[in-house]
Amino acid sequence: MMNDTELARMGNRIRRDIIEMIYRAKDGHPAPSLSAADIVACLYFGVMNVDPARPDWEDRDRFILSKGHACPALYAALGLKGYFDRSLYPTLRHLDSILQGHPDMKKTPGVDMTSGSLGNGLAAATGMAIGAKMLGKSWKTYVLTGDGELGEGINWEAAQTAAKYKLDNLTLIVDNNGMQSGGSVEEVGGVVNIPGKFAAFGFEVFEVNGHDTSEIMAALTAPVSGRPKCIVAHTVKGKGVSFMEHNNAWHKGVPNDEQYTTACTELEALING
Amino acid sequence: MAEEKSTRVAFVQALESLMEKDDRVVMVSADSVAVFRAQALQKKYPNRIVECGIAEGSAVMIAAGLAAAGFKPYVCAYAGFLTMRACEQMRTFVAYPHLDIKFFGANAGMCSGEREGVTHQFFEDIGIMRAIPGFTVLAPSDADDTIRMVHKAYETPGPVYCRIGSGRDPVVGTEAVLRAYGDDALIIGCGAPLAEACKAADELRGQGANITVLNCNVLKPLDEAFLMPYIRRAGKVITAEDHNVCAGLGGAVCEIAGRAVRRIGLMDRYPESGTADELKHKYRIDAGEMIKAVTEK
């Protein structure tokens, strides 16, 4: 497993791959992928017990990307981890590709759950975590949601069930970048006080800077007992690429040649810095 | 009154036998343990019934998570709350990844909802589920047929939806051909209205119309090879179901028949509160309507 500095570098390598993928494929959601990059780096290169040579290994830890439109971040982590060849990146969203527009558990090695219809990941993760308990297995389930998708009621249905079943093998991370497709999460969806809500539903709640790998790792590895964990990660939409940060125009979009060059220069400076 | 036997009790009996032989079989409930008369099963296997509360969407997703972890979940809920409220979860997270999950919808049909009224009368489930690629759709004729369908669901890989009744379900018989008196008319039915179809066939016999009644308990995929010879040689083709005639069994038969089909069922309208007996007569899913359909010019 990597140390915090190596994880931060991996987060930026994921960002570099996100830009590469979307630029080459000419489609995708860059900004919501960039906000999740450090979290995904900490999961796949910090805590998760997985084996790219055996993507269906029964005892692996599981990850669900509930905010499925951020799949370039997941595909980049899987590519860098060695699940498939990174030369497939340009096929993102193209006919016959294993890299579907939203994650597909039957097409992409390493994807543990189909996702992309927002609001459903926590409930699927709850089922997986109940399954692990029923099997007497020690593998863990991680799920990353957006903040906007917490408007969907199924999250709260599942939160109740997860607390009822005392799922201390379940970790929810909220990519709290404050923006959804139509604008501010607070103004559009009215989703406020996320930590307080999950605490009220019986989760052990942590709040971290979602771009500080030492804070993310501390929360991911903090022991909990008898209840599920929720890590509210404060993030910046578009993080790492100056002109995409805090700019919701990049919720979905493809950088032109000049923007691509700028983004790569900035990210490579972070990787090599 | 005709003999009755509960499709819900039959379901639980069959589920228990599956749980005995396969420890991957689990029940996922949306507050449906009592509804499905599964209290004794819960005592026997307390750790194999996942209770999600009144939360159908979440229950389907939890079943998806369990299936991804290697279990064979049987999701139990009211037919309409399941197929309407959790429709998208059943489509996107179960049928699309072809997960091995079985769904049992109780209280299917206007006559199951009875006095509860329209909120609890579910007559769209067959149509909704038929429209989703990858689903096998079952509608057993009665309690004994339910037992067969639970086992059929187990043996069918991938997602299966099966509608069952209120618990006061007429005994119909489990044969594919329930009456074979002749080819003056053919009634293809599913579920409880098959009891009415058999009654109609018996009344008409020797009175100028000898008809055949088929139990169509697999609505998707329809067994065309079995059905088409009957459809071709029958004087008239009639369907009978406790479901909207649109998109249900009637719609399904029309898709394959290539000829006029008289559809008996709920005529694309909302019913009301009443007893099952009152409702089936007022909304004409009864033997009288079937006799009329056979004999009218």
Digit-coded pLDDT (tens) for A130-150: 999 999 999 999 999 999 999
A196 vs chain B: nearest CA distance in angstroms? 21
Beta bridge partners of B207: none
Edge-first strand listing for the sheet containing B185-189: B177-180, B211-215, B185-189, B237-244, B262-266
Return the pLDDT at A273: 83
Tell me which chain A residues have a C-beta less than 8 angstroms from the C-beta of B57: 120, 123, 153-154, 157
**Which residue in A has a C-alpha nearest to residue B70's C-alpha?**
A131
Is A154 in contact with B57 (Cβ distance < 8 A)?
yes
Return the pLDDT at B1. Answer: 53
B69, B93, B96 ranked by CB distance to A132: nearest: B69
Distant-in-sequence, close-in-space partners of A213: CB < 8 Å, separation ≥ 6: A4, A5, A7, A8, A11, A38, A41, A42, A46
pLDDT band at B282 (very low <50, low <70, confident <90, very high): very high
pTM exceeds 0.90: yes
Task: Note whether B97 contacts A126, CB cutoff 8 Å.
Answer: no
| Whole-number Å distance between alpha carbons of B111 and B273 | 10
- Other CB atoms within 10 Å distance of the CB of residue A81: 16
CB-based contact, A132 to chain B, within 8 Å: yes
- The CATH class that applies to domain A4-272 reads alpha beta
**pLDDT tier at A80 (50, 70, 90 boundaries)?**
very high
Task: Identify the structural domains of chain B with CATH numbers, from first to last.
Answer: 4-169 (3.40.50.970), 174-257 (3.40.50.920)
Average pLDDT of the residues in A24-52: 98
Which residues in chain A are contacts of B58 at CB distance < 8 A?
A: 123, 126, 154, 157-158, 161
B2 pLDDT more than 80: no
What pLDDT shows up at residue A153? 97
Q: Is residue B206's pLDDT more than 90?
A: no
- Residues above pLDDT 90, as percent of chain B: 98
Q: Cα dihedral sign for B247, B251, B253, B257? A: negative
> Is the four-CA dihedral A250, A252, A257, A263 of positive or negative sign?
positive
**CA distance, residue B56 to nearest chain A CA (Å):** 9
Kindly list the residues from chain B whose CB atom is less than 8 angstroms away from the CB atom of residue A105. Answer: 68, 97
Nearest-CA distance from B93 to chain A in Å?
A: 6
Q: How confident is the model at residue B203 (pLDDT cuts 50, 70, 90)?
A: very high
Distance between CA A124 and CA B58 in Å, rounded? 8
Look at A113 and B64 and tell me if their CB atoms are within 8 Å. yes
C-beta atoms of B65 and A130 within 8 A: yes
pLDDT digits (tens, 9 = 90+) for B60-90: 999 999 999 999 999 999 999 999 999 999 9
